[in-house]
Structures are given as C-alpha cells and as structure tokens.
Amino acid sequence: MSDATVKLSDAAIRRQMLADFWFYFRQNRGAVVGMWVFLALVLIAVFAQVVAPHDPTAQFRDALLVPPIWQEGGKSGFLLGTDAVGRNMLSRLIYGAQYSLFIGVVVVAIALIGGIFVGLLAGFFGGWVDTVIMRVMDVILAFPSLLLALVLVAVLGPGLTNAMIAIAIVYQPHFARLTRAAVMGEKEREYVTAARVAGAGTMRLMFKTILPNCLAPLIVQATLSFSSAVLDSAALGFLGMGAQPPSSEWGTMLAEAREFILRAWWVVTLPGLAILISVLAINLMGDGLRDALDPKLKRS
C-alpha cells in the first residue's frame, strides 16, 4: 500500500471552496435571481452600442414626449417613448446602465482599497496609529453620508468624477472598520505567529498572511456599498451635483424629467424603476453572499 494521506493541490482546494460557496449561495433563491438580473445589466451595459436602438443623445424633433408603444400615440421605433427633447428613452436607459455600473465599480474599488490599507495599518500596528486612524474614521461617520458627499462635491465642483470621489471617501470608513476588526481577530492566531517565526516580513504578514482571511465580511460590505453607491450617485445626479446633463445617468434623467411629472409618466417612472431594479438585484445578491460566506449562519 502506498501512503494513506491525501494530498490536495491548491487548485483542488480552491475548486472545493468555490463549490461550497455555490452550494450555499444557491440555497437563497432571491440571491440567484438577483445574480441573473445583475449579469443581464452587465451585459446590457457592455453591449449598449449593439442593444440600444438609437444614440442616447440623438434628438428626434418630430417625436417629443412620445408615450411608450403600447399606449395611444406611441410610435414604432420608440419602444419606451421619448423625452421632452425627443431622445429615445430605451436608448438612454440602456446607456444609463453603463454609468451606474461604472460608478459602483469605481466607488467600491476606491473605498475598498483605501479602507483595507487604512484598516490593516490600524489593526496590525495598534497603539497610537490605531487611535488616530479610527478617530478620523469616526469623524467621517458622524456626518450623514449624502450630506458630506454633497458638501464635498460643492467643494470639488459638480460632476461625475467628483461625485464618485466624494461617495468613495464617505464609504471608506466602513471598510476600514471591518478590516481593522478582522485583522485584530486574526493577528494573534497561531498561523500568523508561525509565519512570523518562519521569518515573514511585515508586508508579507499584512497582505499575504492575514488579509486573505479577512475577506468575507469585506466582500459582503462591498456588495452593500455597490448598491448604496448606485443610489447615492443617482441622488446626487437628481440634486444636480452628480453627472451633468445631457448624460443619461438615471438620477440626472429623473431631475430633467421632474417638470413633466404630471404630463408624461414614462419619463419619470422608467429611470427610477431602472435604479430600483439594479439596486434591488445587487442587494438580493448581497444577502445571498452574506449567507454563503458567514460561517456562523452556515451552521444553523
């Protein structure tokens, strides 16, 4: 007989972890639905040029405020009608998906990287480094996020880039706190001591030994922040502080449509519905991720 120990390759372990994850994720039906909707949104955003019937800024002067096709007065070619200057609603909504997903990705990336870095520093070194960093995070958290983002945008000047930076700054403390808490829980564990004894340097300990074991709560928070970023950037756009007209960001579209609220329901209803559906899909997915990644809930 050869040796009885089973040696699993790293790849096999990873495959097993993914299979486990998928098993638990699939238990939550809402999460799976949310995932499909989200994937559809990504596809629509990526292939917007192919899917959209018209250019999002093309104005059809002979077709102002045309209602959707199923309503009386609807015109073929304008499935969801047109807005006040004759732009195709469907095309604008499709291109709007690009904005929302782009904003979500950028905001979460900035907030996540910044938060992880700051949180690792605070959790790993402790002492005054920890105190100073965490007090600064507390100060940021003391402001209502939308208000702070609004004021930051007022300082930086309205626009999409500044709105994204402002929202990322406001979200960053959540990631910092989570990372710090996870690092403080992990750093006294045996495997970290073992790595330290084996001669791993500070950087290696921080980023290669400890960080991968703190990722679960961060992934869940990242999904939550993604949906909040879509909501908050739409709110900033609605208040005139985010993406500027004529861009087809959904919040900006809503702001432009406000005056037609009682005359043309579709210009108001559809952009908001698009925001709601994408945020809902991401939140559904987030619930499923939390169930699948949280070992405490797994056992019950």
Partner 1 sequence: MIRFILGKLLYLVPTFVGITIIAFGFVRILPGDPVLLMAGERGISPERHAALSAQLGFDQPIWLQYLQFLGRLFHGDLGNSLVTKKPVMAEFLTLFPATVELGLVAIIIATAIGVPVGVLAAIKRGSWFDQVSMTAALVGFSMPIFWWGLLLIIFFSGILGWTPVSGRISLIYFFPDVTGFMLIDSIISGQKGAFTSALSHLILPSVVLATIPLAVIARQTRSAMLEVMGEDYVRTARAKGMPPSRVVGVHALRNAMIPVITTIGLQIGVLMAGAILTETIFSWPGIGKWMIDSISRRDYPVVQSGLLLIAGLVMLVNLLVDLTYGLINPRIRHK
Using CA atoms, how far residue 49 sits from 22, 35, 46, 187, in Å, is 33, 23, 8, 49
96 binding partner 1? (CB under 8 A): no
Residue 138 near partner 1 by CB under 8 A? yes
Compose the 97-136 pattern: x for residues touching partner 1 by CB under 8 A, - for all others. Answer: --------------------------------------xx
Residue 144 lies near partner 1 (rule: CB under 8 A): yes
**Distance, CA of 139 to CA of 173 (rounded, Å):** 9
| Closest to partner 1 by CB, 118 or 231 | 231
Q: Which of the residues 221 through 240 are near partner 1 (CB under 8 A)?
A: 227, 231, 234-235, 238-240
Cα separations in angstroms, 75 against 7, 42, 86, 147: 66, 28, 12, 42
For partner 1 (CB under 8 A), the number of binding residues is 42
List phi, psi (to 5°) of 240. 85, 10
Q: Are 171 and 178 in contact (CB under 8 A)?
A: no
The residues with which 82 forms a beta bridge, in sequence order, are: 88
Of the two residues 55 and 138, which places its CB atom closer to partner 1 in the complex? Answer: 138
Cα(239)–Cα(244) distance, integer angstroms: 10
User: Are 38 and 281 a contacting pair, CB within 8 Å?
Assistant: yes
Residues in 241-280 at the binding interface with partner 1, rule: CB under 8 A? 241, 251, 254, 258, 261-262, 265, 268-269, 271-272, 275-276, 279-280
Give the interface with partner 1 as residue ranges (CB under 8 A): 30, 135-136, 138-139, 142-148, 150-151, 154-155, 227, 231, 234-235, 238-241, 251, 254, 258, 261-262, 265, 268-269, 271-272, 275-276, 279-280, 283-284, 287, 300
